[in-house]
């Protein structure tokens, strides 16, 4: 009876420890980002906790599946050893195929009797949600690999335009805290590059009434301003791209799960996986992660909010 709270506690502890280790360079716990011994130990402890949680959770199903699988293999070996020379050569292979199918059916039955199987069977939409969750868990390390250019823990530096706008919002103003150079304001046409090429100024901002403004959607900066209440460090635009790309993938996967549950539930559950894989890994999401600047942050944020709205509206849209 203690298995459920134990595996939940281990899973929660493992997720927290792995998350702390992977984001230590972003949260300031490891500002140098060199993966020292303490950070590696935290990651190792988290992986051990997750492995222990999985072992506790899947122990009954694995025990049954392994036992039945071994019994099936022994039966196959016995049948093959008892075969006569007069039997067709494909007869043993046919029996192996039949046994394999039977083993798969028994393993599915064992999974259905496990905690995750009972959870999935409790409501019609849960198998699709489980499939979406599995694909999303696979999408996280892929997105992390793209945004870090394969370095995992060390992310190449990008701009921090939205961070600057969040600081402006926290100061009670709409324009950036950076003030324009007086030489720039003195130009007859500050937007003429030939006149201002030797004057320091941020790129791709609006100069209006002697102040710098950003013209991208402000919602990411509003969310970032709230986040900076708890973590006041500089957050690069690449972090926002990573978060919003994963948000886009998550809500797209959940929307497909809702669509499958409402319209295609009669199909086998495996028919849903190709659509989920395409939604999680097809362009433009990897491309946005490949160049995670403020432009991509704005695009990914818009797509994430769009798919979130579509997911929340899907029960009503698919009703009837």
| Integer CA distances (angstroms), 307 to 133, 241, 246, 310, 319, in order | 16, 15, 11, 5, 18
Question: pLDDT value at position 123?
Answer: 63
pLDDT digits (tens, 9 = 90+) for 7-29: 677 777 878 888 888 887 777 67
Question: pLDDT value at position 219?
Answer: 96
| Integer CA distances (angstroms), 212 to 166, 174, 189, 295, 298, in order | 14, 9, 15, 17, 18
Question: pLDDT value at position 2?
Answer: 45
| Integer CA distances (angstroms), 164 to 103, 216, 226, 235, in order | 59, 13, 13, 9
Q: Which stretch of 31-45, 53-67, 73-87, 252-266 has the lowest confidence by average pLDDT?
A: 73-87
Question: pLDDT value at position 64?
Answer: 73
Using the predicted structure, report yes or no on whether residue 99 has a pLDDT greater than 80.
no
Which token pair is 314? 């899907």
Residue with the bigger pLDDT between 157 and 100: it is 157
pLDDT digits (tens, 9 = 90+) for 41-58: 888 888 888 887 777 666
pLDDT digits (tens, 9 = 90+) for 64-91: 777 777 777 777 666 655 554 445 555 6
Give the global pTM. 0.66
């Amino acid at each position: 009876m203690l298995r459920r709270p134990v595996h939940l506690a281990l899973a929660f502890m493992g997720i927290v420890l792995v998350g702390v280790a992977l984001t230590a360079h972003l949260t300031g716990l490891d500002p140098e980002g060199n993966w020292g011994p303490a950070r590696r130990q935290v990651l190792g402890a988290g992986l051990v906790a997750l492995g222990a949680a999985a072992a506790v959770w899947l122990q009954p199903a694995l025990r049954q599946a392994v036992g039945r699988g071994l019994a099936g293999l022994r039966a196959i070996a016995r049948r093959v050893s008892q075969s006569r020379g007069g039997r067709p050569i494909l007869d043993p292979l046919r029996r192996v195929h039949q046994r394999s199918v039977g083993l798969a059916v028994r393993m599915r039955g064992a999974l259905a009797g496990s905690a995750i199987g009972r959870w999935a069977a409790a409501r019609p939409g849960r198998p699709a949600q489980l499939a979406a969750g599995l694909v999303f868990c696979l999408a996280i390390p892929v997105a992390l690999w793209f945004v870090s250019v394969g370095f995992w823990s060390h992310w190449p530096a990008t701009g921090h335009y939205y961070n600057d706008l969040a600081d402006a919002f926290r100061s009670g103003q709409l324009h950036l805290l950076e003030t324009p150079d007086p030489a720039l304001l003195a130009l007859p046409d500050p937007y003429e590059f030939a006149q201002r090429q030797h004057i320091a100024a941020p790129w791709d901002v609006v100069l209006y009434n002697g102040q710098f403004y950003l013209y991208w959607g402000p919602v990411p900066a509003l969310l970032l301003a709230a986040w900076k209440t708890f973590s006041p460090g500089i957050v690069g635009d690449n972090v926002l791209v990573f978060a919003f790309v994963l948000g886009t993938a998550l809500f797209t996967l959940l929307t497909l799960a809702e669509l499958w549950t409402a319209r295609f539930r009669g199909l086998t559950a495996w028919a849903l996986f190709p659509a989920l894989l395409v939604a999680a890994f097809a362009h433009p999401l990897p491309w946005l992660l490949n160049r995670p600047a403020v432009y991509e942050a704005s695009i990914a944020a818009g797509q994430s909010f769009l798919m979130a709205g579509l997911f929340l509206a899907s029960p009503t849209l698919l009703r009837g």
